[in-house]
Structure 1
Amino acid sequence: MFRFLLPTSLLLGLLAGSLSCQAAISDAEAVNRAGMQRMLSQRIAKNYLMIGTDTRVDLAGTQLDSSIASIEENAQLLNDYAPSESIRKALNEANQTWGQYRQIALTRPDRAQSAELLRLAERFLGQSEALVQEIERHSGNQAARLVNRSGRQRMLSQRIAMLYLAMSWKLPEQRLRGDFDAAVAEFERGLEELQKAPQNTEQISRQLEQIDTQWRFARAGFSLADDSRFVPTVIVTTSDSLLRKIEQLTLDYERLAGSAR
């Protein structure tokens, strides 16, 4: 079952050579990349729980490999970008946690160990959030706030699925339901905020309409959890569809932020 872990070392070994030729990233891309770390913190935990609950295991393995490689790539790009001491400090703290988190994420999923995995995922999420905020403050670009907000929606799509899987696996964590409800509520607030943004182009407004439609479909699946009728495959599929749409939205906001400077 764990054959999908083997290519990761090869992928990571290629990063140093491939990234050395790339130009320094912009402030807007740095916000996006740091925001992507938030999302990946939740996506990796989701993949771990997918394997543990026997939910689309092959997909989980592929996503786990690519997510780990993406975190390593983003960390190197952000390290090369870091223009201030506060940003470098925030990045170093996140990277230290990532080393511990990665080690557990690559082990065989185990219910007893899942509490430590979720704790590290939460810490890495918080540290990545602090990094995003530092970069946004440094940029001084109002449009960068939309990149941040959209990127946080991207994270929430994976956090909601991760917490749903944790509840379906009946992990002995008291806060799971409360955290799940809070993530759902925050996603709805964030979507409403983005829909009202005066900077939205016609294309971005259309994308937000599509995301809203997909979100309403996801909410219908969440209601089944109230009766302990979990549908993890449906929620995983829907969350990935949401992620793809929000990923494109975030890139569009990144371009908008780049043109605003």
Structure 2
Amino acid sequence: MFSPKESRRCSRELLSDIPLFNGLADSVTDQLLAASRVVSIPAHTQIFSVQSPVKEAFVLVRGTLRRSTRLAGEVEKTLELIQSPQLLAPGEVFGAERYTSQCESLGSSLILVIDAWRLRAIVQQDLPLSDRLIQLLALRLRSTECDVTSYHYGLSATQRVLDYLLAQGGEALKSAGETPVTLRPSKKMIAARLGITPESFSRCLRELIDLGLIVVDGRVLYIQNAALRDYENGNPERRMSFSRRERAEIIRPRKKLSAGALVNLCGRLRVLSQRLATSWAMIATGLPPAKYQVRLRALVGDFERVDKRLDGLALAPQVGERLQAVQAIWPAYREALLGSATPAEAAAVLGLSEKMLEATDAMTKAAELCGETPDAHYVNTAGRNRMISQRVCKLFLFWDWPGCEDLGEPALTESVREFARNLTELQQNSHGVAELALQLKEVDAQWQVFIASLLPDLSRARRTHHARVVFTEGERLLRLMDTTVKLYERLGK
């Protein structure tokens, strides 16, 4: 099927990277090596087609594949989007003479091709390999049954999207921290695999983002492990689930925000005030502007959406007055952010960012006092550290620009001290929730990495490279802190 020039002998090391074949007896591995070859294929290459004889079995080593079939009326149905090393279509390899599905590469991929007859003979002879294959087929059967059930009984599109993302992240997700998932297939392909429209897929992602379960950065998606637990229903041992809602429930007005949720919402403007300045500074530093200009405009939109939502709530007078103060500063700050991004304008942007920070912090503190609960206090304390993760990054980037020197070092030192104080307080008040304690431990570890990244060394002597390192570590800390804030909010309900 593939040209000999594209093929090479399979190595023992490569075979060990495939879970199905890892750790087998040397004699079995030798037989598999003798029956296999490795093929590099470009994107959009067909690996096997419907009705082609099952003479060869195919194993994905690296890359992204799409397996599909054709239904009545020539409608194409996506069966799998495959990114992890695995045997393709095992049911067909061991239970059919011809393939009933087709498979193509979505990107450049590395495929292990095994003589199907020899593979079947090896499986018959080796008990450990046959046991693994039985487990594999059992998992596929269970997955198929879950898929069929989910379309008919109670599983919403959001649940199907979450299940898909969790499957890409792997079975053994940690109790805290985050798990990165790269969405190599297009949204259209993933939506087709899940039986929903691309628009519905985007709405589901937005719902998961709003709930703090995931953070999306381009094609990379970060699952927030601790946020997956069902704290609101008092069952943190179980993952959150999303059942289909009755129409009356969908159109029912939202309930009033809890004290913690209001503090978190106000605190989002506070952290955004710093993220906006940080993104502006990345452009002014001289990094390729396209990426950070898109990020900056997205953050401007986020700020305005949160502001609009707060403006539509029945806020206590002391909170409403401080929101008006924020709104009075915003036009000038927005204009400065979207104007020229050079060090010459840095002092003006830095000054407005500090002014906006003061106004948003006053509003968030007012929301905490209105809440009159310890839970609101802890949400605000965690939210302060969320903001500090970005303020430290901002102060580092503005440090040596004209007119910014006086604020830099004193503010940076005090911010570092406050983060440590707040983190200690939070660690002493984790509500006895193991996942929250573990999340705070992850925060502490990433905080140390972030602080270390501020110090120059020979590997990042260039300002642009150093800025990128600090920005990246700050973003990781921000994601961990954002989940921490959300956990305190949910535990307070």
Tell me which interval the TM-score lies in, with the shorter structure as reference length: 0.7 to 0.9
AA at the equivalent of 1:140? E
Paired residue for 1:120?
352
Residue type matched to 1:123 in 2? K
**Matched residue, 1:151:** 383
Report if the CA contact (8 A) 1:150-1:249 is conserved.
yes
User: How has the CA–CA distance of structure 1 residues 242 and 89 changed in structure 2, closer, same or farther, with 3 Å as cutoff?
Assistant: same
> Matches of 1:41 and 1:161 in 2, distance apart?
13
Q: Structure 1 residues 251 and 33 mapped into 2: Cα distance closer, same or farther (>3 Å)? A: same
CA shift at 1:66, angstroms? 2.1
Segments of structure 1 that go 5 or more residues without pairing to the other structure are 1-20
Q: Which residue of 2 aligns with 1:89?
A: 321
Q: CA deviation at 1:191?
A: 1.2
State the partner residue of 2:295: 63
Q: d(CA) in 1 for partners of 2:295 and 2:265?
A: 17
State the AA in 2 paired with 1:49.
A
Match of 1:11 in 2: none
SS of residue matched to 2:310: helix
2:336 aligned partner, one-letter code: I
- State the percentage of identical aligned residues: 28
Q: Which contiguous aligned blocks of 4+ residues in structure 1 show a shift greater than 6 angstroms?
A: none
- Higher-RCO chain (CA-CA 8 Å, sequence separation at least 6): 1
Partner of 1:171: 402
Shift of 1:200: 4.8
1:208 is matched with 440
**Residues paired across the two proteins, number:** 236
Contact map agreement 1:56 1:233 (CA 8 A) in 2: no
Q: Deviation of residue 56 (structure 1)?
A: 5.8
CA distance in 2, matches of 1:39, 1:32: 10
TM-score scaled to structure 1, two decimals? Answer: 0.84
Matched, 1:241 2:464: no
Deviations 1:70-99 (A, max 9, x none): 111111121222432211111001111012
The normalised TM-score by structure 2 is 0.46
Any idea what SS the aligned residue of 1:81 has?
A: coil
Q: Secondary structure at the match of 1:223?
A: coil
Which of 378, 393, 398 in structure 2 is aligned with 1:161? Answer: 393
Distance, in Å, in 2 between the alignment partners of 1:47 and 1:171 is 18
What's the counterpart of residue 221 of structure 1?
A: 453
- Structure 2 unmatched runs, 5+: 1-251
Q: How far apart, in 2, do the equivalents of 1:221 and 1:22 lie?
A: 46
> Using the alignment, how far apart are the partners of 1:65 and 1:175 within structure 2?
26
Determine helix, strand or coil for the equivalent of 1:199. coil
* Structure showing the higher strand proportion among its residues: 2
**2:412 maps to which residue?**
180
Which structure is larger by alpha-carbon Rg, 1 or 2? 2
Q: SS of 1:197's equivalent?
A: coil
How far apart, in 1, do the equivalents of 2:366 and 2:443 lie?
A: 28
RMSD in angstroms over aligned alpha carbons? Answer: 2.1
3-state secondary structure, aligned to 2:429: coil
